[in-house]
Amino acid sequence: MSVAVRILLVEDNPANLELVSYLLEAAGHIVLIAEDGRQGLELARKEPPPDLIVSDLRMPVMDGFEMLRHIRMDATLNDVPVIAVTAFSMSGDQTRVMLAGFDGYISKPIVPETFVSEVEAYLKAGRRKAGPPADP
């Protein structure tokens, strides 16, 4: 992807945070970092909003599901796709995540060779129109 985009990365595990931000930065993207859902929400609300949010699900303080609910209630963040990168990858987890209203799902362990292109594909697809809306 030729144009650099601003990606908000929300992840509490330092090693995974470093890995994902490294991959995204190596691909030329600008990465904003938050270590839990609450920080992520605060950062997302600062002008200008990020182009994409990549978030872990299980986090202290505020988890990914709750952060998504707040984001979806915020009109200024309406167009920002949010994708989940999670170690919840047993059968049924992907459905659960998509039903919660995420725009994409990548399971951990990630495949480093293809991770960036997966993220970019979700970015290109934008907000998911089909499927049920996020729980109120």
Partner 1 sequence: MAMDVCGLLLDEAPDAFVVQSPEGIVLHWSRSAESIFGYVANEVVGRDLLDLIVPADRADEERSMRCEALETGFAAIESLRRCKDGSLVFVSISAKTVGDGQGRPQYLIVCKKDVTQLKVMRDAKLVDARYSKLLESMPDGIVLINASGRIVFANSQAEAMFAYEAGRLRGLPVEALLPERLRGGHVAHRSAYFGQLRTRAMGMGLELYGLRQDGSEFPVEIGLSPLETGEGTLVTSAIRDITERKRIERALHEKNVELAKANAAKDRFLASMSHELRTPLNAIIGFTGTLLMKLPGPLNEVQEKQLRRVQSGGQHLLELINDLLDIAKIEAGKVELVVEPLDCRTVVEDVAATLRPAAEGKGLAFAIEVVDESLRLSTDRRAFSQILINLVQNAIKFTERGCVTIRLARRIEGELALVEVSVRDTGMGIGDEDLQRLFAPFSRITPRSGKFAEGTGLGLHLSQKLAGHMGGRITVESAPGVGSTFALVLPEG
Task: Tell which one of 32, 88, 94, 120 touches partner 1 (CB under 8 A).
Answer: 88
Cα–Cα dist 119/24, whole Å: 9
Q: Pull the structure tokens for residue 3.
A: 């144009």
Cβ atoms of residues 81 and 127 within 8 Å? yes
Cα–Cα dist 105/99, whole Å: 11
Q: Residue 28, interface with partner 1 (CB under 8 A)?
A: no
Cα–Cα dist 124/136, whole Å: 26
Q: Residue 120, interface with partner 1 (CB under 8 A)?
A: no
Q: Residue 96, interface with partner 1 (CB under 8 A)?
A: no
Q: Residue 112, interface with partner 1 (CB under 8 A)?
A: yes
> Which among 28-36, 59-67, 81-89, 122-130 is the span making contact with partner 1, rule CB under 8 A?
81-89
Residue 67 or 116 with smaller CB distance to partner 1: 116
Q: What is the DSSP letter of 10?
A: E
Site residues, partner 1 (CB under 8 A): 13, 15-16, 19-20, 22-23, 26, 58, 87-90, 107-113, 115
